[in-house]
Amino acid sequence: MTVARPTSEPTDESTDQPVGGPTGGEPSGPLAAPRPLSRNRNYNILWTGQLLSELAFEVAMVAVPLLILAHTGSALQMGVASSVLAAVRMLAAVPAGAIADRWNRRTVMLTCQGLRAVSMGSLAAALALDRYSYWHLLAVVVLEGVLGSVFEPAEHAALPQVVPESQLSTAVARNAARPYVATLLGPSVAGFLFSVHPTDPFTVTAGMLALSAGAMTLLRLPPAARSDTEETGGGMGGEMAAGFRWVLRNRVLRTTLLWMMGTNLVFNALLVIILALSHEDQTAPGEIGLMMACLGAGGLLGAALASWLHRRLPAPVIVLGFAWLAAVATSLMAAVSGGVPLGALLGLAALFAPVANTTVMTHQLLVTPDGMRGRVSSISALCAGGAGALGPLVGGVLVARSGGGTDAVLACGAALALIAVGTTASPVLRRFPRSSGQTHE
């Protein structure tokens, strides 16, 4: 199977020159300096389209349980819907990467966003006509999970096609801000819209997805490189296996994926434990909300500083610094009361996460061949998502067996300290490769 290719020579919007560099994003030869990202048309389209996608997802994932509770009051149906979404997202993750490498990425993204808009629009129409059906809702949830999973690796793999290598770390850092913006805005928007009318969140979600699809129609991408698997006719299964083999053979990617999985698992367990600890301390609901907002604010501030810090700090300092900062901040959480003090430590732990992610993801994009980027992105998402899904269960078990939230927080601090020791001891992480744009050797 060959990758679809445009009929005309593409142009790099950041330089107004034909695309032909080895990375797919930076032209070769003595060309003018690239434009700032703020004037890079294709990057801004890609960024905006993904922001709309993430906002739509956050709104929908709050509105869906509210809708189920409003119609049936069934916690079981709500739990089934959440589990189905998590399951289909994980199942779709790996083939999604192969799809992003096999077909034209712009077409993949446009198709996914268009179908998601139609799916959410069908639910909004059913609610407007008073035709609510739980099975219809589940079908929409399944489509949202599958199509969202296919969209994300295509968007991630397309980034080096529209951004020069010298600006890649800055683009990755700016992309790191999107989830925090969506997390801060999405739930409150969903709650407000649902209080006005239960149909409104789904109408707005369909509209945002339609706008995202419209943005994809304006996107111009150079042709993706063909992978060896595609040229030898390995088929979809062979392409997925080739992606796993490539990651396992790359020592840095293999190590950072394990590091990322351990850190994500503990952090997601920690969030459940902190909510339990806040309940023990009889923290008011409003203060709990403010505490969790500190987490998002810390991450958003970290995303704003990520590009600046990435350029000025050596990569090993960033990786090791994040590991030890997370361990210390988490351990201190056992010694403070719930609410704002606990939220401040959460924000501190989240502050360096986007910087570390920028360093790791920039390296991943730079060392991965263009024809393999979709699969490597989907494997990373699978590892992070699996650890994130397991984390809350681990947190619940720790609270139940420790007899209280404080001991469980200390257990998370100890786990992160072990990860930090392992990070320091690892030759790969201790000497993490410097990427383009970093000034330190």
262 and 199 in a single domain? The answer is no
Query: What is the per-residue pLDDT for 439?
Result: 47
Tokens of 439: 């000034």
Torsion of CA 348, 354, 360, 363, to 10 degrees: -140
Distances in Å between the Cα of 225 and the Cα atoms of 155, 216, 373 are 15, 20, 10
Side-chain half-sphere exposure of 167, counting CA atoms within 13 A: 24
Domain that holds residue 176: 11-20+35-219
Last residue of a domain, one of 186, 219, 252: 219
Nearest to 155 by CA among 191, 94, 106: 106
207 and 246 in a single domain? The answer is no
275 and 366 in a single domain? The answer is yes
What are 345-373's pLDDT values in tens digits?
888 888 888 889 888 988 888 888 888 88
| Separation CA 381–CA 363 (nearest Å) | 16
> How is residue 22 annotated by DSSP?
T
Query: What is the per-residue pLDDT for 225?
Result: 58
273 and 196 in a single domain? The answer is no
pTM value?
A: 0.76
Question: Does residue 119 have a pLDDT over 80?
Answer: yes
Lowest pLDDT segment from 34-38, 281-285, 361-365, 388-392: 281-285
| Separation CA 41–CA 23 (nearest Å) | 19
Question: Does residue 416 have a pLDDT over 80?
Answer: yes
152 and 101 in a single domain? The answer is yes
- In the chain, the number of structural domains is 2
Lowest pLDDT segment from 30-39, 376-385, 417-426: 30-39
Q: Which residue, chain included where needed, has tokens 């995202």? A: 212
| Most confident range, picked from 224-233, 364-373, 398-407 | 364-373
